[in-house]
Amino acid sequence: MGSPGAARTRTDVPWFQRVLDNIPFLLVLGVGFPTILYTVWSVVELQHLPTFSEAPHGALHGVGLEGASAAAEAAAERAAAGAEQAAAVTGETVTVSMRQMRFFPDTLEIAAGTTVVWVNDDMIDHAVAYGSSDTPAEERLFESSGDFPRGESFAHTFETPGTHPIYCSTIGHEQAGMVMTVVVTEDGP
């Protein structure tokens, strides 16, 4: 037998006390590790996506900078610098990337008759809808049929000139800032 002042061994500690003693470690393991993995994966994913200015001619579904207006070239320069993106496109089809709870570009100026294709380049599902979450369903000009996963897309052709608000209708995404504006002109940007 040990003396009264001897240290307790691991077998002397009840099992529930050992669990309670390890709660901080278990929390770090259960919450911190997945968070770190998600953050690292997000950074790796962002390195593989071209910016608006880096995409080769035609890589954005038939729209290159060669045919865009001076406003689009200026927007591409801002995008390369990490600034808020805006684009003006005169082509028939333009692509918008959905990633990191944002639309890229988040402002788009197009001619009437242009088709916008929203592509989900994110690890989580997204959806596209006209207006905002406050817009009644009957007043929405269009809405994707639910959330769509990475690699999937949704397209809409804009015929009506004006300023059109767009948002991600996946729960919580609009509130996180996933909104954009499409400005449609009769004669092009």
Q: Measuring CA to CA, which residue among 70, 99, 96 is closest to residue 182?
A: 96
Q: What is the pLDDT of residues 108-153, one digit of tens each?
A: 999 999 999 999 999 999 999 999 989 888 888 888 988 999 999 9
Domain boundaries, the chain: 10-47, 52-185
Q: Measuring CA to CA, which residue among 147, 137, 141, 142 is closest to residue 168?
A: 147
Gap between the Cα atoms of 89 and 72, Å rounded: 7
CA 11 to each of CA 5, 15, 16, 17, 20: distance values in angstroms, whole numbers, following the listed order: 17, 9, 12, 11, 15
Q: May I ask the CATH architecture of the domain 52-185?
A: Sandwich (2.60)
Answer whether 90's CB lies under 8 Å from 67's CB.
Answer: yes
Gap between the Cα atoms of 102 and 48, Å rounded: 17
Q: Is 154 exposed, middle or buried (0-12, 13-18, 19+ CB in 10 A)?
A: buried
Predicted TM-score (pTM) of this structure: 0.54
Mean pLDDT of 46-63: 46
Q: What is the pLDDT of residues 67-78, one digit of tens each?
A: 334 444 544 454
